[in-house]
A and B are shown apart, each in its own frame.
Chain A
Amino acid sequence: MKFSGTMIELGCIRQFALVIGSLARLAKLCVLRITRTHLYFIINEPGTVHRAPGLWAELDQGHYFSTVTMSGVSEEHNEIFLEFEPDKLSGTLSVFKSNNAAVRNLKIKLAKKLSPCLTLEMQMPSFSEHARTVVHDVPVLPLPRRQWHLYQEPEMPHFTASIYLPPLKKLRHVVERMKNLSSSLTLAANRKGTLVLSVTSDAANVSTYFRNLTMPTWDLEGAASQMDEEQLHSATVEIKKLISFLAGEQIGPCKVICNIVDDRMVHLFLLHDDVILQYFLPAARSS
């Protein structure tokens, strides 16, 4: 089992740090799957439908790393699964969150020290001609093959409504206000580009409407088109979880798709040039 990759571009490193940072906000434990071409970050949430992960992030190695060497467990199963605490990894990368951070390169490799760990080697600029080296060892736990099946790519859910979300910043602002009113929020969308966020409390019923949003075209739908275009499809989710997702706006996604499976789950799809993040928010039982 071998993995090592070097990042040189500051923009890439910073985005990588942001992705890890948003992982840290979502869960205590995370699984990193390394294949020949991609890195996947997977968060499994207990109790989701069909054992779908809470998060599925896909990073293209070619974009982030200038050089990568990787060899998996065996020829046949050329993959590595590592479990780690994103909080710890994010801490070591927090240097890059500030705007004036400078780094010459960042090398990530899998190493065996006191325990198996991901070693991050950074060459930082210093006051002398020699670079300052900073090495972080983040402990990881390689997962045995019998557990790999738990972290397979999730299937696209059979959603009833699909819509491009308005800018996340705006949405976040609204949702954060709604958080004060209730602990769960209902997302509803129809096929005419309307998105409704609503909360219900004893005293009030608050809804925010976004109209004329664009909708992605999916190949897989067909039969569903017969349905009434005006009809709203909704699912109720926990506000807290939705907010931790909306914090992902820092990654600066180009497009965010929201798929709603009636009363089952909300599937959020963040698309960026080289990162794809999928969030699966299970529907909470609305009271």
Chain B
Amino acid sequence: MKCTIGTTNVKDFGRAIHALAKVGEELYIEPSQSGVSFRTISSSRSAYFSYNFGNSFFTFYDSGLGGQTPASGEDTFRCKVAMKAVLNIFKGIHNLERTVQRCKLTLKWEEAKLIIQLTCHYGIVKTHNLSFIECDALQAVYDKESCPNHMVSDSRVLLGALSSFHQQTLEEISFCFTPRNLILKSHVEEPDPSKVVHTVVTLTRGEFEDYNIMSNCELTVCLKEIRALLAFTGSTGISTKAYFSGPGSPIIFTYDSKPLYEGTLVLATLVQKPEVGTHPASKSCHEPRASTSIRKASMNNTLRASEISMMQNNLPNTTSGDKAADVTVQNITVALDNSRVEDIPHQQKDVVRGDTSHSEPIVPLLRNNNKAAQEEEEDSDTVPSSPPAKKSRFFFRRCFEATFNPDTLPGHNVILAEDSDEGD
């Protein structure tokens, strides 16, 4: 692949890299006939961020794929590079805009090198050679069409609202959508909610370009990724669309400047805690560990939502096209044979899927999820068995008392049945 970014677009590209870098540590690059996608996923796999740059974004573009889109996924080249390395090249966006005349990106498959060449003023040419690793496709499974709720917001509205949240330690934020208002709340669980500043921002629906909410819902998401997204949209001034269905299923943010580029951020949302919601007092005794398990569960739910979208026969918009998507479905069932794939044939089990036989990014995650699911099952198993234990404590109450001494009982030294023999 070879492409050149003109001087006007370098800034946007740099900003996109900055936004991606705030979410993930690896940058996945996937060239196709119609453009290049740059993607990343957060280390906890709760956020997926993707940029598709169209042909027209570049002054020169050659996908290097030959004439047609390859039929099987194997022929497409995909690779990933360390995010930090790329970020360093595009550091200082304002300087970039002033000094860089064009930026040339070249993927050399034979040498496994990504070459980024910046041609600056005064004939200075900076060439960066980055080694990449060939990898599987990174593609979140989501379907924004099936989401009943959506809103379109000018980035300034959300940026302004988020500027009211000052706490440095705040990690999560709740979006409460009601048909009339959007209420933003700081979401604090630990260690003591009564010791921190709580902030609530109320925005009326009139502030949004489009606001279509079917029913009230409260979504809790990570602030970091939202900030990354808004940093980009705020500087380019394009509006953001959000699609969502409810707590536990992902919220999808998209924005585009067609035909130049489009960005998509898929964020896992927290599952609402049933008991905690009804007893506000129990919130204070919430431990950090609990919150991580909830986050795990929310991940599961992200998956569930994606399955639903698959069942509705709405294939996600993959860059590789419907055909490739079919292939990936089959491949993944092969790849994940050793984990519980039998239960869910031909269905996606993850936000992220790989489509070669060694789908390295998925398997560990899947196991984790299964483990989490099993743990949940075990937990639910112990619940019905606990009353008998309680009963025994009730009936044999005296035996559990502190002053109880078995030697004082009549006939304590009479052995009715001998101990059984050892060894056999």
Contact = CB atoms under 8 A, between A and B. Distances in A.
The answer to whether A and B interact is: yes
Interface of A: 88, 91-92, 94-95, 113-115, 117, 124, 126-130, 132-139
Contact of B197 (A92, A130, A132): A92
B194 A114 contact: yes
A146 B157 CA distance: 48
12 contacts: A114-B280, A124-B160, A127-B157, A128-B204, A132-B204, A132-B207, A134-B200, A135-B202, A137-B197, A137-B198, A139-B195, A139-B196
Contact of A95 (B163, B167, B197): B163
A49 B207 CA distance: 56
A90 to B, nearest CB: 9
B114 to A, nearest CB: 40
B371 interface: no
A130 B196 contact: no
A205 B132 CA distance: 60
A29 to B, nearest CB: 13
Contacts of B284: 114
A92 to B, nearest CB: 6
Contacts of B126: none
Contacts of B197: 88, 91-92, 136-139
Contacts of B204: 126, 128, 130, 132
A128 B207 contact: yes
B193 A95 contact: no
B199 interface: yes
B198 A132 contact: no
A127 B161 CA distance: 12
Contacts of A132: 160-161, 201-204, 207
Nearest to B195: A139
Interface in B304-330: none
A20 to B, nearest CB: 13
Nearest to A98: B163
B202 A133 contact: yes
A117 B199 CA distance: 12
A187 B160 CA distance: 46
A138 B205 CA distance: 27
B216 interface: no
Contact of A127 (B164, B166, B199, B207): B207
Nearest to A127: B207
Contacts of A134: 164, 199-202
Contact of B207 (A91, A117, A126): A126
Question: Nearest 8 CB-CB pairs, A to B?
Answer: A128-B206, A115-B194, A91-B166, A137-B198, A130-B204, A135-B200, A133-B202, A114-B194
Contact of B206 (A129, A135, A137): A129
B206 A130 contact: yes
B231 to A, nearest CB: 18
A125 B157 CA distance: 11
Main secondary structure of the interface of A (DSSP, over half): mixed
A94 B166 contact: yes
B154 interface: yes
A281 to B, nearest CB: 29
Contacts of A95: 163-164
A126 B203 contact: yes
Given A134-B199, A135-B200, 18 more contacts: A91-B166, A91-B197, A92-B166, A114-B194, A124-B160, A127-B156, A127-B157, A128-B207, A132-B207, A133-B200, A134-B202, A135-B199, A135-B202, A136-B199, A137-B198, A138-B197, A139-B194, A139-B197
Contact of A113 (B164, B167, B198, B199): B198
A13 B154 CA distance: 28
A117 B202 CA distance: 19
A92 B199 contact: yes
Contact of B167 (A91, A114, A135): A91
Contacts of A139: 194-197
A63 B118 CA distance: 58
A124 B156 CA distance: 14
Interface string B195-223: 11111111111110000000000000000
Contacts of B280: 114
A132 B163 CA distance: 13
Interface in B234-254: none
B164 A114 contact: no
A206 to B, nearest CB: 38
Contacts of B161: 132
A269 B243 CA distance: 57
Contact of A114 (B154, B166, B198, B205): B198
Contacts of A115: 194-195
Nearest to B198: A137
Contacts of A113: 198
B206 A114 contact: no
A113 B166 CA distance: 20
Which of A91, A113, A136 has the most CB atoms of chain B within a 10 A radius of its CB?
A136
A114 B199 CA distance: 13
A155 to B, nearest CB: 35
A113 B199 CA distance: 12
A136 B157 contact: no
B384 to A, nearest CB: 35
A95 B202 CA distance: 16
Nearest to B167: A91
Given A95-B163, A134-B164, A114 B202 contact: no
